[in-house]
Amino acid sequence: MNFIGKLLGVIIGYRFGGFFGAIAGAFLGHLLDKKIYTLGSVTSSFFKKTLTRQDLFLQTTFAVLGHLSKSKGRVTEGDIQLATNLMQQMRLDDASRQLAQAAFNRGKQPDFPIRQVIREFRQGCGQRSDLLRMFLEIQVQAAFADAHLHENEKEVLFVVAEELGLSRMQFEQMLAMVYASQQFTRGGYYQQQGGYQQHRQQGYQQNSYRQSQSSGPTIHDAYKVLGVNDSDDQKTVKRAYRRLMNEHHPDKLVSKGLPEEMMEMAKEKAQQIQAAYDLICKIKGWK
């Protein structure tokens, strides 16, 4: 993170307002540093241009979505509609929509350098873990949009997770959290038959998801949303809740490089986390 703004703020503030002026200057300088970081230029060898961090986030999102769609063998009408719906949800203008479509089409190409693109993206985002996690969550949500995770999609997602610095265990936990979040949001409960089933095949773990509707979200869903266990105590659950709310705070994510068009997605995720925590507290009788 840049610090020039804070340094100048302290110097100028102290010069004209003494101690309290220095404090005010540091705060204003901090806001300036965040803005400089967000709008700072990033050079991408794949997109062959200099982009702001927000534009890099946007175009990388749709490029990976295209690659994810193609990984199943062919891009279906449903895949195209998913990308189109995301563009509409983000309310992209014509210029941004064209860039997103071009990125999606480039991601479909057989020679798409997925690892190179994600490495450049990670570096361009200043390796901000919360921003990188939000990026991966968007891709996982897209893969689950048809209520089925194709094995090729899962392997692509793991490549992305690996390049972003996540272990296999952390990746598997994110899959469970996102899947539970989607069930929670739908208002209907879609229970995996036998739970989150794991088995070994060809040297790596796979997860089996089966859709079956029930009466509504359960406390088990809520625990999965927060990434904790049913047996965890109140202190552990509350700590996980606070950490996730901090990581998914929309304003903070935008200040770090999340495109403003994606703020609604961040808000929805924060609402899922809040609703899950509220349900646990209600059922457990926690204050």
Distance CA 39, CA 2 (A): 12
Structure tokens given for 125 = 């985002």
Phi/psi for 64 (5° steps) reads -70, -35
- At residue 126, the 3 state secondary structure works out as coil
Distance CA 140, CA 142 (A): 5
Q: Beta strand 49-52 with 41-44: parallel, antiparallel or unpaired?
A: antiparallel
The secondary structure of residue 34, as a DSSP letter, is: H
Residue pLDDT tens, the chain, 287 long: 444 434 444 455 445 555 555 565 555 555 544 544 444 567 788 888 788 877 888 899 999 999 999 998 888 888 899 889 888 877 888 988 999 999 999 999 999 999 999 999 888 877 677 778 888 988 988 888 777 788 999 999 999 999 999 999 989 988 888 887 776 666 543 333 233 233 223 333 334 344 434 446 678 888 888 888 888 899 999 999 998 888 877 777 666 666 676 677 777 788 888 888 888 898 888 87
- At residue 42, the 3 state secondary structure works out as strand
Distance CA 223, CA 285 (A): 15
The domain spans of the chain are 1-39, 41-284
